[in-house]
Amino acid sequence: MTSLAPPTAQLTPLTVARAVPELSLVSMTPGYSTDILANSNGLLLHFWATWCPPCLRELPLLLAGCRAAGFSHAAVSLDKTSDVVERYIDGMGVPASNIFLQEGTLETDGLLMGGILPATLVVDRAGNVRARGIGEIEWRSLERWSLVAKWVR
């Protein structure tokens, strides 16, 4: 069962880096690769849903911050169908090229603390999760992006 996280969250480094969980993704852009780690120099892997108000507030800020800071990102929706995701990204002007729909059950071996949303994993160049944020993160903080840069590179 997926639930909403408390209002404000921090990015927390993992004591031991862990592999990115196995995902079964469908791209919201036809023909776009779902291999999110291919050619990656690290990325922010963000889990969200259209029924999650904190997710809807956070996603545009996260994507804008990634663009400004030059970080790769993948936003994985936990919605059941793609039509609600398409309506959201069309209405908000969010680019679909890095938006994916998770097919089936998401097994993350505890990385997402039982499916609490929103959730963000900071993945380094080797494909290891170095930090995570469970809950809505304030992405307008330069300090936050400095931490992300340290973990990604």
Task: Give me the residue spans of the domains in the chain.
Answer: 40-152
Residue 29 confidence (pLDDT): 77
Residue with the two structure tokens 């690290």: 42
pLDDT in tens, 54-70: 999 999 899 889 888 88
Tens of pLDDT along the chain (153 residues)?
A: 565 555 567 888 888 888 887 777 877 877 777 777 776 778 898 999 999 999 999 998 998 898 888 888 888 888 888 888 888 888 776 777 777 777 766 666 666 656 788 999 999 988 889 999 989 999 988 888 999 999 987
Architecture of the structural domain at 40-152: 3-Layer(aba) Sandwich (3.40)
pLDDT in tens, 86-105: 888 887 767 777 777 777 66
Q: How many C-beta neighbours within 10 Å does residue 28 have?
A: 20
DSSP string covering 66-121, please? HHHHT-EEEEEE--S-HHHHHHHHHHHT--GGGEEEE-S----TTTTTTTEESEEE
The dihedral built from the CA positions of residue 125, 131, 137 and 139, taken in this order, carries a sign that is: negative
pTM value? 0.86
